[in-house]
Amino acid sequence: MKISVTPDVFKLAQVFTISRGSRTEAKVLTVRVQDGDHVGWGECVPYARYDETLDSVTDEIMGLPADLSRAALYDLLPAGAARNAVDCALWDLEAKRAGKRAWELAGLTAPGPEITAYTLSLAEPAEMQTQAAKNAHRPLLKIKLGTPDDMPRLEAVRAGAPASRIIVDANEGWSDEVYADLAPHLVRLGVGLVEQPLPAGEDDALIGMERPVPVCADESCHDRTSLPKLKGKYDVVNIKLDKTGGLTEALALREAALAEGYEVMVGCMVGSSLAMAPATLVAQGAMVTDLDGPLLLAEDRETPLLFDDAGVHPPKVALWG
């Protein structure tokens, strides 16, 4: 078995801004695992928030032994981008070896399309209203926030897209005081979900606070080991394969979170259709699906995922799984 890692860059359709900064391109790593005539592949997005770089993740992957299985992988790498790309590549490889789809191997029912959120980048209120109006035909919009002055942005987006469902993502950018002030207005403006309002290390402040709309753990939830620390703070967990370390743990986290009474959101980093493909299996029946990475790109993989009025569709064999 041979493992290779290739850095790839995908230009974004426009500048993408969150509370931590801006970018104009998506820098990803493409992993290929070859066994004879069969090649499985996967993609990850190293994330600086979790102390990951293209080089550090590449080193982790290239340090793996050639004789590798998904079960062994969990003893060799922690949850994160490196394990994600290899795990997903191994799923793809297993599917090709077996002549079956990955969802069959996982014991899942055949997946279908899921309505996905479309993300509006953090900007000045007037620009966000323009973004919202341009995308007002979409059923679900996600707003990037995370400043002390977000109320005008919320009002602007609602004015631009009066019929769309709205969720907001603060990316750890609010204090407990800012969140408490905004919370009643989230209800008034029809916001259906708030992602990670407080920094992950400061989210104990959510204990005992009113949550008039569901609060979702993103940076505070990586894999199943995160669940005990979420009690009393969150209603929903955001499952991202680059956090869980692959499809295997993502499916296990979904099952465990639902068993403990949480709702599930399935999200993504900004990557190509290859990164989203395995996540479509996890997204089946989720409260919120946020797999819009390819919609933010100016270019994508040769066989991209299909996005239409029904949502994001599962991948074709030519792409993954």
Please tell me the predicted confidence (pLDDT) of residue 35. 94
pLDDT at 185 over 80: yes
Please tell me the predicted confidence (pLDDT) of residue 194. 97
Contacts 24+ apart (CB under 8 A), 18-21: 18/121, 18/122, 18/144, 18/146, 18/169, 18/171, 19/122, 19/144, 19/145, 19/146, 19/147, 19/170, 19/171, 19/172, 19/173, 20/49, 20/171, 20/173
The string of DSSP codes covering 206-218 is GTT---SS-EEES
d(CA 286, CA 266): 7
pLDDT at 20 over 90: no
β pairing state of 140-144 and 165-169: parallel
Express each pLDDT in 193-213 by its tens digit. Answer: 999 999 999 999 999 998 999
Please tell me the predicted confidence (pLDDT) of residue 28. 98
d(CA 242, CA 42): 11
Prediction pTM value? 0.96
Task: Indicate the average pLDDT of the chain.
Answer: 96
